[in-house]
């Protein structure tokens, strides 16, 4: 019998990665009423389904909105606002929300600023007066998808660090990840024999008990808490 296991000894639960649905809730941080209205019209004319847009006129109000809700698909950020101007606008926003999908809005004379904004963490930039419905829609779709993929990659990397193990009863051995040995604070071994962990004094004895329970129960879950010297 072969038992595969994952444990949340490190304080992380193993599970299926949630499917991420692309939402179309947009936060626009723009103080110019004309520019804000144009973006709203372009979004309404776009092929983005159920697109919702919330507009804030200052960086402070935009940050407050993000603190209230974290389900914005994208943030359209003007870099020239009453309470923040230039590159610092992006820096201040990313300092508060480094993982958010930010698309910078720049003037015709600020293309270089837009390029630098992308280097600093923005997903993309749009030049005011130089984009239409199609370009706005495409930019939003690409940036949202890029952010979604990056988050899934981070989740995959997180899962890879979870302590996991395989119990091969037919071969009388157990194989465990490096993380499991690190969590228990014991020396790494390529293979642990069943004879070793049958001993109640062995730190890994718990996995023998888990195997016995899993062999007789259709669904089995156990949370384990322990203290380490560090």
CATH class belonging to 163-216: alpha beta
Residue 81, beta-bridge partner list:
84
Q: Is the pLDDT of residue 151 over 80?
A: no
Spatial CB neighbours of 103, under 8 Å, sequence gap ≥ 6: 74, 75, 76, 77, 122, 123, 124, 125, 126, 139, 140, 143
Instruction: With a cut of 90, say whether residue 164 has pLDDT above it.
Output: no
Choose among 40, 36, 31, 100: nearest CA to 59: 31
What pLDDT, in 10s, does the model give residues 2-32? Answer: 444 443 333 333 333 333 344 588 999 999 9
Residues 136-155, mean pLDDT to the nearest whole number: 81
The boundaries of every CATH 3.30.450 domain in the chain are 163-216
Topology of the domain comprising 25-158: Rossmann fold (3.40.50)
Q: Is the pLDDT reported for residue 54 higher than 90?
A: yes
CB atoms within 10 A of CB 75: 23
What percent of the chain has a predicted confidence (pLDDT) above 90?
33
Q: What are the pLDDT digits (tens) for 105-121?
A: 988 677 788 888 888 88
Question: Please, what is the average pLDDT of the chain?
Answer: 79
pLDDT of amino acid 204: 82
Q: How confident is the model at residue 2, as a pLDDT?
A: 43
Q: Going edge to edge, which strands form the sheet with 52-56?
A: 52-56, 25-29, 74-78, 102-106, 124-127
Task: Say what the pLDDT of residue 153 is.
Answer: 66
Q: How many CB atoms lie within 10 A of CB 95?
A: 11
Assess whether pLDDT exceeds 70 at residue 160: no
pLDDT tens sequence across 168-199: 777 788 877 777 777 777 887 767 888 888 88
Residues of the chain with CATH 3.40.50.2300: 25-158
CA distance 165 to 208: 11
Residue 198 token pair: 């049958």
When pLDDT is averaged across residues 144-173 and rounded to a whole number, the result is 72
């Amino acid at each position: 019998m072969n038992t595969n296991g994952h444990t949340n000894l490190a304080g992380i639960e193993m599970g299926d990665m949630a499917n991420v649905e692309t939402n179309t809730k947009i936060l626009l941080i723009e103080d110019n009423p004309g520019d804000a209205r144009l973006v709203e019209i372009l979004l309404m004319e776009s092929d983005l389904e159920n697109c919702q847009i919330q507009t804030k006129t200052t960086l402070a109000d935009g940050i407050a909105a993000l603190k209230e809700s974290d389900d914005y698909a994208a943030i359209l950020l003007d870099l020239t606002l009453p309470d923040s101007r230039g590159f610092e606008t992006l820096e201040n926003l990313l300092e508060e929300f480094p993982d958010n999908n930010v698309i910078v809005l720049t003037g015709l004379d600020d293309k270089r600023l837009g390029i630098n904004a992308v280097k600093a963490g923005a997903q993309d930039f749009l030049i005011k007066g130089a984009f239409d419905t199609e370009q706005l829609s495409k930019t939003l779709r690409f940036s949202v998808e890029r952010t979604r993929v990056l988050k899934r990659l981070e989740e995959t990397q997180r899962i890879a660090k979870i302590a996991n193990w395989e119990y091969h009863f037919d071969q009388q051995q157990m194989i465990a990840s490096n993380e499991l040995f690190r969590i228990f604070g014991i020396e790494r071994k390529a293979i642990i024999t069943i004879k070793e962990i049958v001993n109640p004094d062995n730190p890994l004895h718990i996995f023998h008990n888990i195997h016995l329970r899993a062999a007789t129960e259709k669904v089995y879950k156990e949370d384990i808490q322990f203290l380490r010297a560090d």
